A and B are shown apart, each in its own frame.
Chain A
Amino acid sequence: MDALLFLFFALVAVGCGINLVVQTHPISSALSLIGVMGSLAVLYLLLGAEFMAMAQLIVYAGAIMVLFIFVIMLLNAGVERKKGTSMLVKALGVPALVAFLGMVSYLIQRLMPGTENVTFGAFQGGTVQAIGRKLFTEYLLPFEVTSVLILIAILGAVVLARKEI
């Protein structure tokens, strides 16, 4: 059952990812990205990260992607016109990307040969309670700092989006 779930959602995620890259209209890309995020949320659950799965759905798929779609709508972004990527990027990027993927996969296989299989429920540490305890004890300072970060981001967004600029 675990394997089936993984394979299914992994395929969905990759498929949506490919779709994101190849679609020319931004709104399709955005919808694909939501698909990726949703599948990832399921995978998170399989890995025992209940809180993160929920957060993924709510924050990412919910809030952030809504923001994206909102902007796309607002700007009335149309289909991407052809041409643009330079020869250099293609000539360099494609082989580099292929090599990168190959290297990473190969290294993961080589360096972590004896890893266990993933069983749902084997790891129970990802509960809201556990994360809450960590966040408000050990990671209190970074947590507070993020609040400042978000405040700055809000202010920045407000300033940037003003009419006068």
Chain B
Amino acid sequence: MNDQQLWLIPALPLAGFLINGLFGKKFPNILVSIIAVASVLGSFAWVLKTLGALGDLEHAHVEHYLTWIQSGPVNIGVDLAVDRLTAVMLLVVTGIGSLIHIYAVGYMSHEGGYYRFFAYLNLFMFFMLTLVMGANFLLLFVGWEGVGLCSYLLIGFYILKKSAGDAAKKAFVVNRVGDFGFSLAMFLIMVQFGSLDFQKVFEAVKPLPVDQTPGILTAIALLLFVGAAGKSAQVPLYVWLPDAMEGPTPVSALIHAATMVTAGVYMTARAAVIFQHSPLAMDVVATVGLITAVMAATIGLTQYDIKKVFAYSTVSQLGYMFIACGVGAFSAGIYHVVTHAFFKALLFLGAGSVIHALSGEQDLRHMGGLAKKIPITFAVLACAWVAIAGVPPFAGFFSKDEILLAAHHHAPWMYWVGVITAGMTAFYVSRAMFMCFFGSYRGHHHPHESPFVMWGPLAVLAVLSLAGGWYFKVPHYLEPVFPVAEGHHDETLVYISVAAGVIGIGLAALMYLIKPGLPDTISGALGPIYKLVYNKYFVDEVYDATIVNPMVAGSRGVLWRIFDAGIIDGIVNGTAVVARTVGGGLRLLQSGNIRSYAAWVTLGCVVVLLALGVMSGGVK
């Protein structure tokens, strides 16, 4: 069955990583970029070839390579699989990945550690592809942890910056918390079903009755969702993603917008069968998604760092995807993954282009009026803008519409909250656009347009953002995997959500184009609330105060200094002191005086004689 050589898809970037990682230091930059880009393009080409060869993919195509772990009942193979869900993800990952690799050639050209950057990026591709192609939970987990590692490496790419190191560590550790849930879910699955293969597990789950009372399936589903929440930055584990913007911008685009962060959504969709058996878990997923969407959107309204705005936007959009999963519209969730990958990658890359043009400036307050100075960048960013704002008929409109409809079908209040969030989304993206491109220039640098290697990929993404939603009918394609919920298209609902987007844009135009003094007035009026939102609800501070600091202080003060050094070692050394005292007493006997020894020997003789007497009956 291994006729498609699926292994080549992840193996090519891995080869790129090995070559660049080991020898890249001695290569000229051009060679490094050729190797890196070629490996990802090759992978993309192989995906296209494979999908062409596999045809309509009604059933998953599985290839088994070797047994990875075999121990008693635990049997885990290195199996790769392609079904329609994977196919969608593969195309997104390799396609967008290729574009971003090309873009990075331009973006990173002046940076130190060029080869290192591309090696990490290729490694990321390898793990991401493993993640989407793995045919069992453990292989998924390998990719899962692997992308976390690459995220760590790339966030901390600017090793001299302390904030980058902190952000990288935070990302990894928070992800680890999520992985903790994921791994526990995996162990439970193994215990319950005796296998981690998707096929076997899902076959075993399908006939089970839907779990109305909380039970083992709910536990598994919730634990899986903890993992997903960690990777996909959901409340309460979203805190790492905004900080992750410390990494180079192509990384933000590829990992923290388009691909890695959607792995949680992919995993939820992959384990849809399990989730569907637990209404409670589904409710939790939807609710968490909703809270995340609203919370992140409100924070996004107030930020000034262009990448932070987009980062909170990403968190918010991920919340949308989980709403979709939670209400049972998994295909809508994946649809949004795809369109979001287009426009959010574009937003980040465009932002990168702006930052590049301004030699590293990220603060919106120091931009303005750039539309004329960097017109190409402005043009492509405008495409992303309309796409994310949900303006029909562009990409975001279709997927957001699907989600909102499904939410309405599930619970109307979710729909309304979603609509408000959509309005906020439109508002803050417009705000960023207006502050950046309109008005007068407020910065000091001399903006210059990006080279072709950078805007070329942007153009492709722009086209995708505009037409992708209409052209790729993802939910239809995914029907064999996720039967589409019977939904009646209520036209009014669509109009309302579009209206929300338009109102959001209009408000932004009012506040930042027509009456520039208005935002300050409003924020002044809101006072404490504005402060709360501007400081991201003080979530980081709360985490520091309640978890991080007590843990470190407790470990240092109580466990180490008092318990380890004090009590345990105290007991040990106390024993030594007792032994020494007793020994000191006994030492007096060892006077070194031979005659005292002789006296003892005599005494010994008496004792022996006594014993002899008693034993022989001599002494009665």
Contact = CB atoms under 8 A, between A and B. Distances in A.
Interface string B586-620: 00000101011011101101100110110010110
9 contacts: A86-B596, A88-B591, A93-B595, A96-B606, A100-B605, A100-B606, A103-B613, A106-B613, A110-B618
Nearest to B595: A89
Interface in A90-113: 92-93, 96-97, 99-100, 103-104, 106-107, 110-111
A85 interface: yes
Contacts of A88: 591, 596, 599
Contacts of B612: 107
- Give the one of B598, B609, B616, B619 with max A CB within 10 A: B609
Interface of B: 591, 593, 595-596, 598-600, 602-603, 605-606, 609-610, 612-613, 616, 618-619
Contact of A92 (B596, B609, B613, B619): B596
A88 B606 CA distance: 17
Mostly, the A contact residues are helix
Contacts, number: 50
Band of interface residues on A: 10 to 19
Contacts of B618: 106-107, 110-111
Nearest to B620: A110
Interface of A: 85-86, 88-89, 92-93, 96-97, 99-100, 103-104, 106-107, 110-111
Contact of A96 (B599, B613, B616, B619): B599
Given A86-B593, A103-B613, A111-B616, A92 B605 contact: no
A92 B612 CA distance: 21
B599 A92 contact: yes
Contacts of B596: 86, 88-89, 92
B72 to A, nearest CB: 67
Contacts of A92: 596, 599-600, 602-603
B54 to A, nearest CB: 96
B606 A99 contact: yes
A93 B599 contact: yes
Contacts of B599: 88-89, 92-93, 96
A85 B599 CA distance: 11
A135 B619 CA distance: 39
Contacts of B603: 92, 96
Contacts of A97: 602
A93 B602 CA distance: 7
Contact of B602 (A85, A100, A110): A100
B609 A103 contact: yes
A129 to B, nearest CB: 37
Given A103-B613, A107-B618, A110-B618, A85 B595 contact: yes
Contacts of B609: 100, 103-104, 107
A107 B605 CA distance: 13
Contacts of A100: 602, 605-606, 609
Contacts of B591: 86, 88
Given A86-B595, A92-B603, A96-B606, 17 more contacts: A86-B593, A89-B596, A89-B598, A89-B599, A92-B602, A93-B598, A96-B599, A96-B602, A97-B602, A99-B606, A103-B606, A103-B609, A104-B609, A107-B612, A110-B613, A110-B618, A110-B619
Nearest to A88: B596
A111 B615 CA distance: 12
A86 B593 CA distance: 9
Nearest to A109: B618
A99 B606 CA distance: 7
B155 to A, nearest CB: 77
| Most B C-beta atoms less than 10 A away, residue of A86, A96, A100, A107 | A96
B600 A103 contact: no
